[in-house]
Structure 1
Amino acid sequence: MLLAIFTDIHANRQAFSACLDFARARGAQRMIFLGDYVGYGADPEWTVETVMDLVNDGAVAVRGNHDNAISTPSESMNAEAQAAIEWTRGRLSAAQRRFLSELPMTLQEDDRLYVHSEASSPGRWRYVQSTADAARSIVASDAQITLCGHIHLPSLYSMSAAAKMTSFVPAPGVPVPLLGGRRWLAVLGSVGQPRDRNPAAAFAMLDTETREITYCRVPYDVDAAAQRIRDNGLPLWLADRLMVGR
């Protein structure tokens, strides 16, 4: 089965729409969502409703820290992120807020674990920034492949049977075989707010038959997404950063 895996959409309708179109055009058979549907961007209602519809149609979704913050005011965030969450709370319907609050923190399917941050303590929202971080997440689960987001930077880690770690940033559009003799942690880039100096939206596609993962980059109308943020009175930095991918 060909899975399209998205994370950190952050209410960016233009980016999410472009990624969905890209995935469907390439034969995606199932959608996987790794959290942070809201926050930063200006279209939370549309984004959450779209994810809800896809889940009703067979997609799976887990909760991110921005989703958690909608119903948990104590969630710690920087000033710009907090302003966007407070604005978002007033935009979502009761059903949409309930959907976010009821999402699981992790979900395991066959040999795969889906989580927003990392597997050792999902509710602490720790970033995977090193091979040590990746190893901590890998050994916390019995999954062969863990897929996560949160950091907005794409990378791929693996652990050998002897616990030797490797890491690299896959080239977009180039399938990478997830060899059976290793365990893998795929950190996806962000759909709605990339931070690797490339403004193109990021997601990945995983072929469960061939065990190949392909990291994808999708250009979208960044200007329109940024203008939506400005028009809704959200912090200007949230618009500006989209233009430069940071």
Structure 2
Amino acid sequence: MKVVLFADIHANLTAFEAVLADINTCYQPDAMISLGDLIDYGMRSNEIIERIQEVQIPIVANLKGNHEKALVDSDLSHFSSERGRVMSTYTRNHLNQASQNYIKNVMQEPKQTLEIDGNKVLLLHGSIEDPYWGKLTPSKVDDEKYKDYDYVISGHIHQSYKIDVFFKAETPLMRNQKRTTFINPGSVGQPRNHNPYAQYVYMDFQTGEIHFNAVPYDVDAEQVLFPKEIDKFYSERLKFGI
């Protein structure tokens, strides 16, 4: 199966449209996997939810992220800054009923397991301990909680990576090692790896081929949408990928 992996669109419709155009030009995927945080931080949460429902490529997993979780629970306590709480409140006040219904009734809890081409795949937004808010950074991928999976795919940190970890195992044929591949596709709408381009991954689970993609888009078109009551940090960071 050939799959597109993406995460953290964060209401950035221009970036998502650029990604969809790039997929259409470069690849012919069988399916898509969305790892959460369609909404918030950007100004077009309703439009993103409407657009993702129009995409013709089947979505085989559609996870909630921590921003959807905060909205459903009406809980702002996990945000580390006042500007984040203000932003989440703004998003909640502007979400229409159709968007709220989609989040509550269509999007899935993170920590989903799929079987793809004989591979056991764990899908998270965050980490195995905290599927919403946990941060599965490269320094944490050697945790043996992940060893039973062939692939662990997560989002949330807005930084892309692929790391193979070889856990000890009773497998003489494989030199007593068990490989688990960790993948984070980065962020479509708010990258934080100092690359402002919209980022996603294309993967062939049968061959193991993985392409990391970074697509330019019209950042200005998104920045002009931010109102004065939203901290300018959220619009300015789009220019720098921070």
Considering only CA atoms, is the larger Rg found in Structure 1 or Structure 2?
2
The answer for the alignment partner of 1:169 in structure 2 is none
User: Please, what TM-score do these two structures have when normalized by structure 1?
Assistant: 0.84
Contact persistence 2:124–2:131 (CA under 8 A)? yes
Greater shift, 53-62 or 66-75, is seen at: 53-62
* 1:91 counterpart letter in structure 2: H
1:82-133: CA deviation from partner (whole Å, max 9, x where unpaired): 222111112222232132234222221112121111123314x1112243x2
Q: 1:141 to 1:36 in 2, by over 3 A?
A: farther
1:18-68: CA deviation from partner (whole Å, max 9, x where unpaired): 011111222222111000011110100011122344499544201100111
Structure 1 position 199 matched with structure 2 position 209: no
Give every structure 1 segment of 4 or more consecutive aligned residues whose post-TM-superposition deviation is greater than 3 Å: 52-59
Structure 1 position 117 matched with structure 2 position 123: no
What is the SS of the residue equivalent to 1:90?
Answer: helix
The answer for the alignment partner of 1:107 in structure 2 is 112
Which whole-Å CA distance do the structure 2 matches of 1:235 and 1:227 have between them? 13
Identity %: 27
Equivalent residue in structure 1 for 2:234, among 231, 235, 238: 238
* 1:118 counterpart letter in structure 2: S
> How do residues 13-24 of structure 1 correspond to structure 2 at under 5 angstroms?
13-24=13-24
Unpaired runs of 5+ residues, structure 2, are 170-176
Equivalent residue in structure 2 for 1:83, among 83, 86, 107: 86
The answer for the alignment partner of 2:31 in structure 1 is 30
The answer for the alignment partner of 1:129 in structure 2 is 137
* 1:243 counterpart letter in structure 2: K
Unpaired runs of 5+ residues, structure 1, are 164-179
Equivalent residue in structure 2 for 1:93, among 92, 96, 101: 96
The answer for the alignment partner of 1:172 in structure 2 is none
Contact persistence 2:146–2:180 (CA under 8 A)? no
Which whole-Å CA distance do the structure 1 matches of 2:179 and 2:147 have between them? 14
1:201-224: CA deviation from partner (whole Å, max 9, x where unpaired): 111011122111111100000111
**Structure 1 residue 69: deviation in Å?**
1.1
Which whole-Å CA distance do the structure 1 matches of 2:86 and 2:241 have between them? 20
Contact persistence 1:52–1:99 (CA under 8 A)? no
What is the SS of the residue equivalent to 1:69?
Answer: helix
Greater shift, 205-214 or 39-48, is seen at: 205-214
Q: 1:55 to 1:81 in 2, by over 3 A?
A: farther
User: Please, what TM-score do these two structures have when normalized by structure 2?
Assistant: 0.85
* 1:51 counterpart letter in structure 2: I
**Structure 1 residue 156: deviation in Å?**
1.8
Contact persistence 1:119–1:141 (CA under 8 A)? no
**Structure 1 residue 160: deviation in Å?**
0.8
* 1:199 counterpart letter in structure 2: P
CA RMSD between the two structures:
2.2
The answer for the alignment partner of 1:218 in structure 2 is 215
